[in-house]
Every structure is written in C-alpha cells, then in structure tokens.
C-alpha cells in the first residue's frame, strides 16, 4: 500500500485544539450555534479516534467558562486559561502541547482573526502542521473571518472543512471505528441540511 500524503490529517499524529469557546465571546457571533455544533462533532469523533483535545479560555474570570453544552466533555475542566491572544503565550498550554507529542494541530474556535490566527502562526513556528476547518472558526464580522483565513492560507496553514478533516482522520470505511462514528456523520449531515433549509 502506498504511503499517505503527509499533508493529510492522521489521527495518530493530530491534536484537536479548541480556542476560547466562551458564552460572552460567542454572543455577538451570528454563526455561533453552527460553530458550536461543528466543534461538538469534532470533539466526539476525536474521542472515538483517541485524538487528544486541548481547550483554552481567555480571561475566564471576566469572560466566563466554555459554553455549558461542553461541560460533560472530559477535557472541559482541564481548559487552560490565558491572557495572551496566542495560546502559545501560556506556558501551561505549551507544556501540555509538547507532552502530547503530536505533529499536527486541528485548530478550532474563536475569534478567527485574533486568537486563532496568532495561535496558528505560533504553532507553525514550532514546526507543527496546522489545519483549520473554515466551518469551525468564526469572528464577529464575516470580513475579519474571511481575510484572516486568506492570510493564514497564504502563510501555509491548511484551510479545510469539518467533514473533510473527519474523513481524513478516519482513513477508511468498513472498520469498527468507522461504524461507531457513522451515527455522528449522519447527525452532522442532518444538521447541515437543517441549516440550509433555514
């Protein structure tokens, strides 16, 4: 069998990072419910595939915790609080990231043009490969989201989609893992259809 492209996400090499998914920060974002839903799907798939998850909050004392829909997730209580916009400004985040020993980062959260962008570029400086699903990041203004993604793509970050990343990490159908994740994929398709009908 041919060796896979190193540009594809690999569940054995990847980590899912969820940036600042806090209620106060989500309130002014028009697509907030879609972003939260998409990140929930990624979180569920990552756990089945044993992809580590690392989450952050920004100044939680003032801006609150991660949205309550995630409070039963095993990573929720371990979120790293930070004051810097880049997650790499936190020594604790950096230490946990390095301890996980992964070479690919699936980066999600808010806001695209601030914390996500700065984190992505700093991750690249560490020599890590960064993948950002366009439908798992957002900003208050669509233009900020659009031009941040354009800048990141020009810098060598892979701009992808939630569904694409899931299938890359799955790699093949017909396995027990695929069958266990299939209900999540069907649920994701239903959610997408509902959004298109709105």
Given the residues 20, 87, 122, 135, the one annotated as active site: 20
Q: Per-10-residue mean pLDDT for the chain, 198 residues long?
A: 88 97 95 96 94 97 94 93 98 97 97 98 98 98 97 98 94 80 70 51
Calculate Rg over the CA atoms of the chain: 16
Q: Tokens 């994929």 map to which residue? A: 185
Q: What is the pLDDT of residue 186?
A: 72
Q: Are strands 104-110 and 129-133 parallel, antiparallel or unpaired?
A: parallel
pTM (2 d.p.): 0.91
Q: How far apart are CA 122 and CA 165, in angstroms?
A: 21
CB 55 within 8 A of CB 66: yes
Given the residues 87, 115, 135, 188, the one annotated as active site: 115
Q: What is the pLDDT of residue 196?
A: 46
> Secondary structure of the chain: what % helix, strand, coil (to 5)?
55, 15, 30
| 20 is known as an active-site residue | yes
Q: Tokens 């298109």 map to which residue? A: 196
- Helical H segments across 132-175, by residue range: 142-154, 162-170
Q: How far apart are CA 28 and CA 157, in angstroms?
A: 26
Q: What is the pLDDT of residue 180?
A: 79
Given the residues 30, 34, 82, 146, the one annotated as active site: 82
Retrieve residue 148's tokens: 């941040």
DSSP state of 5: P
Q: What is the pLDDT of residue 46?
A: 95
Q: List the domains of the chain with CATH numbers.
A: 14-197 (3.40.50.850)
């Amino acid at each position: 069998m041919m060796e896979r492209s190193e540009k594809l996400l690999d569940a054995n090499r990847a980590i899912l990072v969820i940036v600042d998914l806090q209620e106060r920060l989500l309130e002014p974002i028009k697509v907030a419910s879609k972003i939260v839903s998409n990140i929930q799907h990624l979180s569920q798939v990552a756990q089945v595939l044993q992809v580590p998850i690392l989450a952050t909050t920004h100044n939680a004392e003032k801006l609150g915790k991660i949205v309550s829909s995630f409070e039963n997730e095993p990573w929720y209580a371990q979120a790293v609080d930070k004051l810097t916009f880049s997650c790499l400004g936190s020594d604790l985040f950096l230490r946990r990231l390095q301890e996980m020993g992964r070479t690919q980062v699936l980066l999600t959260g808010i806001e695209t043009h601030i914390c996500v962008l700065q984190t992505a570029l700093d991750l690249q400086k560490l020599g890590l490969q960064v993948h950002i699903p366009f439908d798992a990041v957002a900003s208050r203004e669509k233009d900020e989201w659009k031009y941040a993604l354009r800048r990141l793509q020009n810098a060598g970050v892979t701009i992808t989609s939630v569904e694409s990343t899931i299938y890359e990490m799955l790699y093949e159908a017909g396995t027990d893992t695929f069958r266990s994740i299939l209900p999540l994929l069907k649920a994701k398709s239903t959610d997408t259809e509902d959004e298109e009908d709105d």
